[in-house]
Amino acid sequence: MYGGSKALFFALSRIRALKRLASKYGMASPDSFARRFIAGETVEEAIRDARLLQERGMLLTLDYLGESVRTMDEAAAATREYVRLIDVIVASGIERNISLKLTQLGVDVDRATCVDNLRRILIPAGKHGFFVRMDMENSRYTDVTLEVFETLWQQEYRNIGLALQSALRRTEQDVLRMIALGARVRLVKGAYKEPPAAAFQKKPEVDEAFRRLMRVLLERGTYPAIATHDEVLIADTRAFARERNIGRDRFEFQMLYGIRRDLQASLVADGHRLRIYLPFGQQWFPYFMRRLGERPANVGFVLRALVRER
Ligand SMILES: Cc1cc2nc3c(=O)[nH]c(=O)nc-3n(C[C@H](O)[C@H](O)[C@H](O)COP(=O)(O)OP(=O)(O)OC[C@H]3O[C@@H](n4cnc5c(N)ncnc54)[C@H](O)[C@@H]3O)c2cc1C
């Protein structure tokens, strides 16, 4: 079931009629179902939620949703939106931290243009003191993401970090590669359905790899982000940090907007740094379907919301 539900929801996410239906109802009103995981379709809605999270003592990263663009025009439009987002964030006074995806900036169309697009974002981001995290997409993109990251790092862009997935067999090597650079890693389990050659297929294996990599990153990494809602792994992280005398200012936890809000509040109450990944934008459907795939019980919640709304 672990990989099965991911595959099912990925397949469903490709069905256009479903996308149209979800798009119609998912964000229609303030309590529509997609709003549980997505701040809204506009940057204003994201800024409003960001302020509320900050008031509760949380850090944040804003993600302008979009991925898998097929034309240079779409990639250029996404790039312009990110540049605009930087200005809006600066004007709003919220924390200066964004996340983005390479397929949103056109890596599937032309790699060199994608890197140019990324630079167009990194230059104003650097000027205004932003941190920019590159999300990790499915394993077809791991190499290119690392290569683009390293190219930019060599060009002295240092306001960047990336995400690595414990589900992938290769990740230990990649973690060491990032540690050698001194780059910041966000450790996640991995949201994509992957083939057995590339990834562990059983949840206990993914969790065990996460635990192992968390330890390596806490001991030897540069301000790592431990991004999970898994209570056991969070408790393990806290215990390991205590045992090794690793201060709470040397790492942060990260969670997704709308998921385990109880756990989010309790980590902050305990004095831990917690960053919330806050997605917004019109292209929310694939992100939303990944959240359903992680926890099929969420479908019940969507159906209940739909029945209420109609
Ligand atoms: C800040 C952040 C950034 C991320 N960036 C990336 C990225 O760049 N690339 C990538 O591949 N993945 C990314 N992910 C997603 C990640 O890979 C996992 O798919 C996701 O976090 C679910 O795994 P988990 O670690 O919470 O553990 P799980 O074992 O899946 O879940 C642990 C518990 O968390 C709760 N939970 C988990 N997911 C949900 C959900 N969807 N709805 C409701 N409850 C849920 C449940 O209580 C569950 O029992 C990111 C996750 C976070 C928190």
The pLDDT profile of the chain, 310 residues, written as one tens digit per residue, is 466 778 777 777 777 777 777 777 788 888 888 899 999 999 999 999 999 999 999 999 999 999 899 999 999 999 999 999 999 999 999 999 999 999 999 999 999 999 999 999 999 999 999 999 999 999 999 999 999 999 999 999 999 999 999 999 999 999 999 999 999 999 999 999 999 999 999 999 999 999 999 999 999 999 999 999 999 999 999 999 999 999 999 999 999 999 999 999 999 999 999 999 999 999 999 999 899 888 878 887 777 766 765 5
Q: What per-residue confidence (pLDDT) applies to 308? A: 64
| pLDDT score of 26 | 83
**pLDDT score of 310:** 52
Q: Is the CB of 253 under 6 A from ligand 1?
A: no
> In terms of C-beta density within 10 A (0-12 exposed, 13-18 middle, 19 or more buried), how is residue 262 classed?
exposed
Closest residue (by CA) to atom 32 of ligand 1?
A: 230
Residue 138 CA: nearest ligand 1 atom is 11
Q: Which atom, in ligand 1's list, is nearest to the CA of 275? A: 1
Q: Where are the beta strands (DSSP E) in the chain?
A: 59-64, 97-100, 131-134, 160-165, 184-188, 225-227, 252-256, 274-280
- Angstrom distance (rounded) from CA 203 to CA 85: 36
Query: Mind listing the pLDDT tens digit for each residue in 103-124?
Result: 999 999 999 999 999 999 999 9
Protein residue with its CA nearest to atom 15 in ligand 1: 191
Atom index in ligand 1 nearest the CA of residue 207 equals: 29
Q: Is the CB of 229 under 6 A from ligand 1?
A: yes
Q: Is any atom of ligand 1 closer than 6 Å to the C-beta of 291?
A: yes
For residue 248, the 8-state DSSP code is: T
CA 9 to centroid of ligand 1, rounded, Å: 15
Give residue 228 CA to ligand 1 midpoint distance, Å.
5
Which ligand 1 atom sits nearest the alpha carbon of residue 228? 25
Task: Establish whether residue 189 lines the binding site of ligand 1, counting it when its CB lies within 6 angstroms of any ligand atom.
Answer: yes
Helices (H), 170-252: 171-181, 203-220, 231-243
Kindly state if the Cβ of 255 falls inside 6 Å of ligand 1. Answer: yes
Q: Which of 104, 188, 193, 205 to mutate to test the pocket of ligand 1 (most atoms within 8 A of CB)?
A: 188
Task: Evaluate: CB of 259 within 6 angstroms of ligand 1.
Answer: yes
- Residue 97 Cβ < 6 Å to ligand 1: no
Q: How far apart are CA 86 and CA 92, in angstroms?
A: 10
What pTM was computed for the model?
0.95
Q: How far apart are CA 285 and CA 18, in angstroms?
A: 10
Mutation pick for ligand 1 pocket among 13, 37, 228, 288 (CB with most ligand atoms within 8 Å)? 228
Query: Which atom of ligand 1 approaches the CA of 189 most closely?
Result: 17
**Chain position carrying tokens 């999300």:** 135
Q: What is the DSSP letter of 282?
A: S
b/e map 219-244, b = 16+ CB within 10 Å? eebebbbbbbbbeebbebbbebbeee
Q: What pLDDT is stored for residue 1 in this prediction?
A: 46
How many angstroms separate the Cα of 188 from the Cα of each of 63, 158, 162, 228, 267? 16, 21, 11, 6, 18
| Catalytic machinery residues | 135, 186
CB atoms within 10 A of CB 52: 11
- The length of the chain, given as a count of residues: 310
